[in-house]
Amino acid sequence: MAEGGLKDDEYWRDKLSPEEYRVCREKGTEPPFSGALYQHSETGTYHCRCCGEALFDSTSKYDAGCGWPSFSEASEKGRIVETLDTSHGMRRTEITCARCNSHLGHVFTDGPAPTGLRYCVNSVSLSFERDGDKE
């Protein structure tokens, strides 16, 4: 299988912690106000926990008060896939990593201008890279 492509469950169970696996691969949700990146405000880039793709810049991160890291836009449009999610009796738009299919969270339309979007993302779905720390 190609590097960065779709992997099987066994690969992810091995690579991820049980909580990361539950959220990223089984579309779980971490408890609000619990995530390591919720109050995080350093300058840098937020990457997909599973495949390392850059998904959000710290410049678009803001505190929506909802208990999860929130962003007003994706770092690049094609990197995040939006899918209608009707689970739990709600109509929401699920967001996943375009490269590895990892569940990230949901996007809502009550965000700040100019996008009006709120990407509500689980901390465990992300890994942070500070500016200047690039390999």
Site of interaction with Zn ion (CB under 5 A) = 48, 50-51, 53, 97, 99-100, 102
For residue 121, the minimal CB distance to Zn ion (Å) is 12
Q: Where are the beta strands (DSSP E) in the chain?
A: 44-48, 54-57, 61-62, 70-71, 80-85, 92-97, 103-108, 118-121, 126-130
Cross-sheet strand order for the sheet of 61-62: 61-62, 70-71, 118-121, 103-108, 92-97, 80-85
Q: What residue type is 127 in one-letter code?
A: S
CB of 48 or CB of 117, closer to Zn ion: 48
Determine which one of 24, 50, 97, 120 is catalytic: 120
For residue 102, the minimal CB distance to Zn ion (Å) is 4
For residue 5, the minimal CB distance to Zn ion (Å) is 10
CB of 12 or CB of 91, closer to Zn ion: 12
CB 96 within 8 Å of CB 106 = no
CB of 48 or CB of 120, closer to Zn ion: 48
Active site residue 120: yes
- Which positions are catalytic? 120
